[in-house]
Amino acid sequence: MNNGLQGNKGNDIIKKILTNYMLLFIIAGIFIVFTIRLPSGSFASVSNILKIFQVGSVYSIVILGVTWVISMNEIDTSFGDVAAFSSVFSAVLIMQVGLPPNLAIVIAILTGSLFGIINGILVTKAKLNSLIVTIAISGIAKAIAYILGKGSSVSVKQDRTQFFYQLCQGATGIIPNILIFGVILVVVMILIQEKTKFGQYIYAIGDNQEAANVAGINITKIKLIVFFISSFFAAFGGTMMMLRGAAMPTIGSNLFLESFTKIFIGATLYKLGKTNILGTFVGAVLMAMLVNGLAKVGAPSYMQQIITGILLIFGVAITSVLQRRRQRALTLEE
């Protein structure tokens, strides 16, 4: 009897590990498949793995803030076009106004963050649905990006010595600076998410907004801050993309689907169906690995979309079933 119970407990722990860290097993599986398919070492080399992590960290920085918005049970669809806006705006400031690059980038990031504040105000004060509000704001940000760039991309002459260029394009030894920066950022944000009241409030609001309100959490303030953070990171990501050589007003629509896929695939990791910073980072690395590997294998680009779509729907289904089961168990206990 006792043994049986303990056996069950052991099973539970294994099940918990399998479900919470399923994503890591999938990544390992995909990694092994690509390594076998590409025996020449073009995939599993140090430089290629660093490259995968570099791409992954660039794309995860853009969406770190959106992750929290979704944890709060709201959504922000405007991040892609906010990135496009700040990308084009910083390019225009550098090339046409003639501001020094560092200053231009800071101004562009702050202006881009304004969209987040507008989102936050419309969602919290006017009590509008965040999906529709952010769709509208993304239309505005995109249109302004097009107007600033006069409908096409703006190429930028890079000053390689300046701080932001070194941060985004430079390397320390063989490790790209942006990877180091990305990892530090992810660690700091995980600490905020797990160890501070602010982080707990985000998930409390996401779980049950009314309960959070009754418990005295200032929902308006937290939501405003999180929407601001979301646009701040999006704007920062946009200027990062400008530093590659050109600012394109079209990046928003490219970012849109991919980024949500990364965030929601990441939600299957560790917090059982809730979007979280670590998951977003791992999801971004997974997508970067898929793109990189599929290109090296020579598979057509649409395979990446189909594979991630299927992964995503399975991930959502599994976490959703587990969440429901846990809820049922909790109500039974009570």
Partner 1 sequence: MSVTKNENFISIIGFIIIFTAVIGFFTFMNPNFLTAKYFLTMFKNVTIIAIASIGLTFVIAVNHTDLSFYLTAGFSAMFMSWLISKNFSVPAAVITALIGSVVFGFTTGFAIGVARLPDIISTIAIGVIAYGCSYLFSNGQKIYVNKSNISFLNDGNILGIPTPIFFLLLFYIIFFILMEKTKYGTYIFAAGSNRIAARLSGINTNAVIIFSYILCTVFSSFAGMISTASRGNGDVATTANFLMPCFTAVFIGSAVFKRPNLLGTFLGAFFVRMMIDGVLLLGIPYYVGDLVTSILLIISLLISKLNTFGSFKRIRLVAAVNTKGGVAK
Alpha-carbon distance 200 to 211, whole Å?
Answer: 13
Taking the complex as a whole, the smallest distance from the CB of residue 316 to partner 1 amounts, in Å, to 5
Taking the complex as a whole, the smallest distance from the CB of residue 87 to partner 1 amounts, in Å, to 15
Provide the sign of the torsion angle of the four alpha carbons 175, 296, 42, 245, taken in this order.
negative
Alpha-carbon distance 238 to 249, whole Å?
Answer: 10
Q: CB nearer to partner 1: give 48 or 292.
A: 292
Q: CB nearer to partner 1: give 81 or 229.
A: 81
Q: CB nearer to partner 1: give 8 or 208.
A: 208
Taking the complex as a whole, the smallest distance from the CB of residue 244 to partner 1 amounts, in Å, to 23
Q: CB nearer to partner 1: give 176 or 249.
A: 249
Taking the complex as a whole, the smallest distance from the CB of residue 80 to partner 1 amounts, in Å, to 12
Which residues make beta-bridge pairs with 176? 171
Q: Which residues bind partner 1 (CB under 8 A)?
A: 75, 77, 122, 124-129, 131-133, 135-140, 142-144, 146-147, 150-151, 213-214, 216, 218, 220-221, 253, 257, 260-261, 264, 300-306, 308-310, 312-313, 316-317, 320, 324
Tokens of 194: 């797990």
Distances (CA, A) of 125 to 128, 202, 331: 8, 18, 34
The stretches of the chain forming alpha helices (DSSP H) are 2-20, 22-37, 46-71, 79-92, 101-124, 130-148, 163-169, 177-195, 197-207, 209-214, 219-242, 251-266, 277-297, 302-333
Q: CB nearer to partner 1: give 15 or 324.
A: 324
